[in-house]
Amino acid sequence: MTYAIGSPCIDVRDRSCVSVCPVDCIYEGTRKLYIQPDECIDCGACMTECPTGAVVRLTDATGHEAEFAHDNRRFFEDVLTGRDQPLGSPGEASSTGPITSDTELVRAFRRAP
């Protein structure tokens, strides 16, 4: 089991989860934060700290949020706009700094009025 960050994080990026992550596996995109699933140790600290409820257990995500939870992995495996290779598993988010891109799903997301 691993954790993922869903749509409530889009355009919010509170970063409370980043400060409590003991392994520095939460990466910042342009509109949203992403958890690197291969680096996550499943401690759940990020889930309890998130003020928007955006962090979910991947296995518990349902409906619309399941799509965003599974999209989390694409941030690391797909070649994102403006990049020439996948991000992969850098080992520490703080060493990469913000990534100036997002997945296609997040880039296209618009909140209902």
CATH classification at residue 65: 3.30.70.20
Q: Let me know if residue 68 belongs to a domain.
A: yes
Domain tally, the chain: 1
In which region does residue 87 sit, left (phi positive, over 0), alpha (psi from -120 to 50) or beta (all else)?
alpha
Range of the domain at 96: 3-108
pLDDT at 13: 82
Question: How far apart (Å, rounded) are the C-alpha atoms in residues 101 and 81?
Answer: 6
Cβ distance 50 to 75 under 8 Å? no
Q: What's the pTM value of the predicted model, to 2 decimals?
A: 0.94
pLDDT in tens, 66-89: 999 889 999 999 999 999 999 999
Q: Let me know if residue 9 belongs to a domain.
A: yes
Share of the chain above pLDDT 70, in %: 99
